[in-house]
Amino acid sequence: MRRILTPDKTIFYPSRGMTELTLYTVKTWEKMSKPNDGSFRQEVLFPAPDKNSGGGTSANFVRIGNVEIDYIKSLNVNSIKSWKWAADARTGLIYQSRPGFTIDLSVDWNRITGCSKDANDVNIVAVSRVYNGFYRVTGIPRQLSGDYFIFAKYPFLNHKIFGNYGSLPLLYTMPLFEPDFSFYTSKGGRGMWLSGEWIGERVGTVKVPWEVSVN
C-alpha cells in the first residue's frame, strides 16, 4: 500500500479523492440484554468477519507506543479515570502492560469498541465494508510523527467508555487505532470487524481525506 509522508512527517494513505464511510451507532448493553458485568461497557472487535477469528484481550491486541499513549493521555486530561487505571498491569482494563516496558512506553490495546450509554449519548463507528454479517470499522492510521491530534475531532475514531454502575458515568476516551496500517498485532490480525448484531441506527456518511482499509 502506497504511503505519503507529508512535510510534518504525518503519514497519509492517499485514495482517489475523499473516502466515503457510513456511520452507525453502537447499541447499548440494555438493547443487547447484556448483564452488568465488569466495570465499563464495551464489545470486542474481531480481526476478521468471523466470530471464530478471536476477539478481545491478549488474543486480539494492537501494540501501541509512546506517541499513541501521549495522544490517549491528552484526550483524558479531565477524565474520571487515569492512564494507570486503563493500562496498569494489575488493573489494566482497556490496555495491557508488557513485560519489561513501562505503561508510558508501550502497551497492547485490547481492540474493543465502546458501547452507547443511551439513545442520547452514543458511540459511532465509521464503516467501510459489510461482509458476512460483520461491519468493517475504520480506525486511526499510524502516525510516525505522533501528530494524532488531527484525528481528535472525529468522534467515530475516539470512543467514550461508560462506567457500568450508577448513572453510567463517562470514565475515559479510547481511540480506535487502525491495525491494518503499520501497527504490530497479535496473530497477524489486521482487521476491526464488529458483529452486525451490535450495529444500531444508520446516522449518515462522512468523507475522510485518507485511505481506509476493507481487509
Please give the Cα distance from 215 to 212 (Å, whole number): 9
> Which H or E element spans position 85?
helix 83-87
Q: Given pLDDT bands bounded at 50, 70 and 90, which one contains residue 102?
A: very high
pLDDT, residue 89, reads 64
Whether residue 213 is contained in a domain is answered as no
Q: Given pLDDT bands bounded at 50, 70 and 90, which one contains residue 209?
A: confident
Span 93-116, average pLDDT: 92
| pLDDT tens profile 14-64 | 445 578 999 999 999 999 999 887 789 999 999 989 888 876 656 788 999
Whether residue 215 is contained in a domain is answered as no
| pLDDT tens profile 160-202 | 999 988 889 999 999 999 998 889 998 767 889 999 999 999 9
Span 138-167, average pLDDT: 92
Sequence-ordered list of residues with C-beta below 8 angstroms from that of 30, at least 6 positions apart, any chain: none
Three-state secondary-structure class, residue 140:
strand
Whether residue 115 is contained in a domain is answered as yes
pLDDT, residue 1, reads 35
pLDDT, residue 124, reads 97
The answer to pTM > 0.95 is no
Sequence-ordered list of residues with C-beta below 8 angstroms from that of 112, at least 6 positions apart, any chain: 42, 43, 44, 45, 56, 94, 174
pLDDT, residue 91, reads 61
pLDDT above 50 (res 4): no
The least confident of 87-101, 123-137, 149-163, 182-196 is 87-101
Please give the Cα distance from 142 to 106 (Å, whole number): 14
Count the domains in the chain.
1
With CA atoms as reference, report the closest residue to 50 among 198, 164, 191: 191
With CA atoms as reference, report the closest residue to 158 among 75, 43, 57: 75
Whether residue 214 is contained in a domain is answered as no
Whether residue 169 is contained in a domain is answered as yes
64 exposure class (CB count in 10 Å sphere: 0-12, 13-18, 19+): buried
Whether residue 177 is contained in a domain is answered as yes
Q: Given pLDDT bands bounded at 50, 70 and 90, which one contains residue 80?
A: very high
Domain containing 167: what range? 4-208
Percent of the residues in the chain that have a pLDDT greater than 90, as a whole number: 62
User: What is the number of other CB atoms lying within 10 angstroms of the CB of residue 5?
Assistant: 11
